[in-house]
Amino acid sequence: MIHESIAIQDGQFRPYHQISVSAEDRAVYFGDGIYEVVRLYGGCFDALDEHLNRLYRSAEHISLTSLPDRNHLRAMLEELVRRNRLSDDGMLYVQFSRGIAPRVHRFPGEAVTASWFAHINPLKRPVDIMHKGESAVLVQDIRWLRCDIKSLNLLPNVLASEEAAKAGCREAILYRDESHVTEGASSNVFIVKDDVLRTHPANHLILNGITRQRVIQLAEELGVPVEERVFGVSELLEADEVFRTSTICEVCPVTVIGDHTIGRGVPGAVTRKLQEAFERVVTAGRTTV
């Protein structure tokens, strides 16, 4: 558990309650920034390098050039775990904005550097949901056309998630139109039909999730055929199995979408096989930070 809540702000370690964001931070004005969420299992980072790869890729795509040196940032995040004495499961949140400047839409001058913070919280694994499955709703995808960038602009995701919550569901599955399902409001979506695994291609319309990438690799290692292609709402609802993946939910079966039961209404065999393979990877990857 965390005995003392320590965070990082702009490269300095300080108590979490002292972290603050300026009213003139471009994250506040414009959502002009990026973020990452990283799982910790038993106090050890999971796939930290892959998350940092995506963080720096997102920074490059929005021309955010003043991030710390990658190795220095990694060392600071590892030190953050040590200072918090986290030995249980948890999550890291790290956020960068373009910096603090007067409210003008164009980029500020070179003198403005990125502002950032990072903190760690205990977070239990969703074991019960992974075993039993969950329900979801369909919501139209109204997001921008660069969903591959993990930006702070999440209002459409928030609205979709609220719609799911009002329906008593944990996730919203997004679709551009009836022939084009993209992903979840906070996860990637997979379907299984006749033992073939399908998921949306990793293009600008989805976030290429770290868990998504891992599941595809595990499926290939297990001999499960994988197709990265667009599928529609009817194909989703007629699937034998549906599951979603993310850093937080891991591999989570979806057994009901709206008023439609998926398959037999229980987690399917392919989903179970991938969950077991994922568990083996997580267990093997626990090394001391």
Q: In this structure, is the dihedral angle defined by the CA atoms of residues 22, 26, 29 and 35, taken in order, positive or negative?
A: negative
Of 237, 283, 281, 279, residue with least CA distance to 130? 279
Angle at 76 between CA 37 and CA 1, to 5 degrees: 65
Angle at 197 between CA 191 and CA 203, to 5 degrees: 80
193 given a catalytic annotation: no
Q: Which amino acid is at 193?
A: K
The catalytic position among 124, 150, 166, 193 is 150
Contact call for residues 76 and 11 (beta carbons, < 8 A): yes
Size of the chain, expressed as the number of residues it contains: 289
Residue 239 burial (CB count, 10 A):
21
Of 80, 92, 86, residue with least CA distance to 37? 92
Q: What is the number of alpha carbons within 13 Å of residue 133 lying toward its C-beta?
A: 21
Long-range contacts at 282-285 (CB < 8 A, ≥ 24 apart): 282/41, 282/46, 285/41, 285/44, 285/46, 285/47
Q: Is 145 exposed, middle or buried (0-12, 13-18, 19+ CB in 10 A)?
A: exposed
Helices 48-61, 70-84: crossing angle, 10 deg rounding: 130
Give catalytic residues, as residue numbers: 150
